Amino acid sequence: MNHQFDELTKSLAQSVTRRAALKKFGFGLAGMALACFGLANRAEAAKKEPKCEICIRQCLRKYPTWSEYECRNYCLVACR
């Protein structure tokens, strides 16, 4: 752990050119802008089915005598 901390402090102590600093700042700003405009939310919404529904459907195929309620309890971890 001390080694990692030493490497971090050495890297922070090194001088950085203005161009490199502005480049990193620009990438960070662009990432924040994409996050604010919901790029991540659109990717999340593109999922077709939640894990719970997939698990229940597979459970009903695997155990045809079980009810949907029993499969929902069986897939409780996926439904959280």
Could you tell me the two tokens for 43? 């990717």
DSSP 8-state secondary structure symbol assigned to residue 75: T
Q: How far apart (Å, rounded) are the C-alpha atoms in residues 71 and 63?
A: 8
> pLDDT tens, position by position, for the chain (80 residues)?
677 778 877 777 777 788 877 887 788 888 777 777 765 555 554 455 677 888 888 999 999 898 888 888 888 876 76
Q: Which helix (H) or strand (E) holds 12?
A: helix 2-13
Per-residue pLDDT, 13: 76
For the question of whether the overall pTM of this predicted structure is more than 0.85, the answer is no
Domain residue limits, the chain: 16-46, 48-80
Residue written as token pair 């009810």? 67
The H-assigned helical ranges of 14-67 are 18-36, 39-45, 51-62
